[in-house]
Chains A and B, each alone.
Chain A
Amino acid sequence: MLPRYILKRLLGAIPTLLILVTIAFFLIRIAPGGPFDDDRNLPPDILANLEAKYNLDQPLGVQYLNYLGSVLRGDLGPSFQYSDFTVNELIAEGFPVSLRLGGSALLMALLFGVIIGTIAAWRQNSRLDYLLMGSAMTGIAIPNFVLAPILILFFAVYFGWLPAGGWGGGALRNMVLPVIALALPYMAYVARLTRGSMVETLRSDFVRTARAKGLPEWKILGKHSLKVALLPVVSYLGPAAAAIITGSVVIEQIFGLPGMGRYFVQGALNRDYTLVMGVVIVIGVLIVVFNLIVDIIYALIDPRIRYE
Chain B
Amino acid sequence: MTARVQGSGFRVQEDPGQIEGSGQALVRIDGLTVDFHTEDGRVRAVEDLSFDIPKGGTVGLVGESGSGKSVTAMTLMRLIPTPPGEISAGRVEFDGQDLLSLSESRMRRIRGKRIGMIFQEPMTSLNPVFRIGEQVAEVLRQHEGLSRRAARDRTLDLLTQVGLPRPKQIIDSYPHQLSGGQKQRVMIAQAMSCEPDLLIADEPTTALDVTIQKQVLDLMGELQARYGMSLLFITHDLGVIAEVASQVVVMYRSHKVEEGPTEALFQRAEHPYTRGLIACRPALEGNPRRLLTVGDFMTAEGEALEVPSDRLLPQVKRSEAELDKDKPLVEVTDLKTWYPVTGGLFGKVVDQVRAVDGVSLTIRRGQTFGLVGESGCGKTTLGRSLLRLTEPTAGQIVFDGEQVTAADERALRRLRKRMQIIFQDPYSSLNPRMTVADILLEALREFRPKASRAEHRETASALLDRVGLSASHLGRYPHEFSGGQRQRIGIARALAVQPEFMVCDESVSALDVSVQAQILNLLLDLQEEFGLTYLFISHDLSVVNFISDYVGVMNEGKLVEYGTAEQIYTHPQQDYTKKLLAAIPRGL
Contacts and interface: CB of A to CB of B under 8 A. Distances in A.
A4 B346 CA distance: 11
A205 B128 contact: no
Given A213-B112, A302-B129, 13 more contacts: A8-B345, A205-B119, A209-B125, A210-B127, A213-B111, A214-B113, A214-B142, A215-B108, A228-B128, A303-B129, A304-B128, A308-B343, A308-B344
A308 B346 CA distance: 10
A302 B176 CA distance: 11
Contacts of A208: 79, 119, 125
Contacts of A212: 77, 79, 111-112, 116-117, 119, 191
Interface in B517-548: none
**Which of B116, B129, B190 has the most chain A CB atoms closer than 10 A to its own CB?**
B129
A228 B112 CA distance: 22
The size bracket of the interface on B is 20 to 34
A169 interface: no
A209 B187 contact: yes
Nearest to B110: A214
A58 interface: no
Q: Majority SS of interface residues in chain B? A: mixed
A206 B111 contact: no
B189 to A, nearest CB: 12
A22 to B, nearest CB: 24
A10 to B, nearest CB: 12
B171 to A, nearest CB: 14
A227 interface: yes
A213 B190 contact: yes
A4 B125 CA distance: 33
Contacts of A209: 117, 119, 125-127, 187, 190
A11 to B, nearest CB: 8
Contacts of B117: 209, 212
Interface string B117-139: 10101001111111000000011
Interface string A264-308: 000000000000000000000000000000000000011110001
Given A8-B345, A303-B176, A308-B343, A215 B112 contact: yes
Nearest to A207: B127
Contacts of A214: 108-113, 139, 142-143
Given A214-B139, A308-B343, A227 B124 contact: no
Interface in A241-266: none
Interface in A177-229: 204-206, 208-216, 224, 227-228
Contacts of A215: 108, 112, 138, 142
A209 B121 CA distance: 11
A305 to B, nearest CB: 10
Interface of A: 4, 7-8, 204-206, 208-216, 224, 227-228, 301-304, 308
Nearest to A203: B81
Which 8 residue pairs are nearest across A and B when measured between Cβ atoms? A214-B112, A214-B111, A213-B112, A205-B124, A303-B174, A206-B127, A212-B117, A214-B108
A235 B79 CA distance: 32
Contact of B126 (A206, A301, A308): A206
B565 to A, nearest CB: 37
Nearest to B83: A125
Contact of B125 (A8, A205, A216): A205
A211 B117 CA distance: 10
5 contacts: A208-B125, A209-B187, A213-B111, A227-B130, A302-B129
Centre residue among B117, B128, B174, B176 by max chain A CB count within 10 A: B128
Contacts of A301: 129
A224 B112 contact: no
A157 B586 CA distance: 84
Nearest to B187: A209
Contacts of A7: 345
A212 B126 CA distance: 12
Contact of B111 (A211, A227, A303, A308): A211
A194 to B, nearest CB: 16
A303 B125 contact: no
A214 B2 CA distance: 14
A211 B79 contact: yes
Contacts of B116: 212
Nearest to A205: B124
B127 A224 contact: yes
A210 B112 CA distance: 9
A123 B580 CA distance: 49
A122 to B, nearest CB: 13
Contacts of A210: 127
Contacts of A308: 343-344
Contacts of B130: 224, 227
A137 B129 CA distance: 31
Contacts of B344: 308
A214 B142 CA distance: 8
Contacts of A8: 345
A228 B130 CA distance: 10
A91 B508 CA distance: 66
A210 B142 CA distance: 11
Contacts of A303: 128-129, 174, 176
Nearest to A206: B127
A301 B79 CA distance: 28
A101 B576 CA distance: 66
A302 B128 contact: yes
B341 to A, nearest CB: 10
A6 to B, nearest CB: 12
Nearest to A7: B345
Contacts of A224: 127, 130
Contacts of A213: 111-112, 138-139, 142, 190
A100 to B, nearest CB: 32
Nearest to A308: B343
Contacts of A205: 119, 121, 124-125
B112 to A, nearest CB: 3
